[in-house]
Amino acid sequence: MEQYWTSKELISETLRTCLDNYKLLKFHIRDCRSHGLKVNINFDHEQKFDFKYTNSDISFIVDSEEVIKLTTDDASGFSLAYHREDAEGQWILLQKGIDPYDPKLPEPKTSMLRNIFDYHEVEIIFEGRIDLKFHSWWKEPHWKYWTIKV
């Protein structure tokens, strides 16, 4: 999957904008220390999902109940990955630096926000394309920071 990065300073803004403007399909947290065997939380899109964020932690809330609180001290910004498929239904894997709006590419079926907080991989999947706009350079000429466009 192609990935586009947001800056750490935009963690809360990125997640809030996506939750307020795009259809949430799935929320998943996996403990990275368990070698993929232990799933902490799977979220059903029928439930109400929210979060609280400070500079030192993030709490995920399902149906008004805090389900997990994770430290954000060592976190980076979210990466946003698009799931695209070709005409035969095969996933399209792209290199870094690809224009997310390249007209030769099919529209994404889903968009996934990913981050690792306190040794927990967080994946939040939304329907369709989450729109992006250029924010700033991380490392030229290929590594950019992006923000969510509404």
- pLDDT value for 36: 61
**Do 113 and 123 contact (CB within 8 A), yes or no?**
yes
The C-alpha atoms of residue 8 and residue 55 are separated, in whole angstroms, by 10
- pLDDT value for 94: 78
Q: What are 55-112's pLDDT values in tens digits?
A: 899 999 989 999 999 999 889 999 999 999 988 988 888 766 678 888 988 999 999 9
Q: What are 12-30's pLDDT values in tens digits?
A: 999 999 999 999 998 888 8
The pTM score is 0.88
- pLDDT value for 40: 67
Buried b (16+ CB within 10 A) or exposed e, 36-74: eeeebeebeeeeebebeeeeeebebebeeeebbebebee
- pLDDT value for 56: 92
User: What average pLDDT does range 3-10 have in this prediction?
Assistant: 90
- pLDDT value for 51: 96
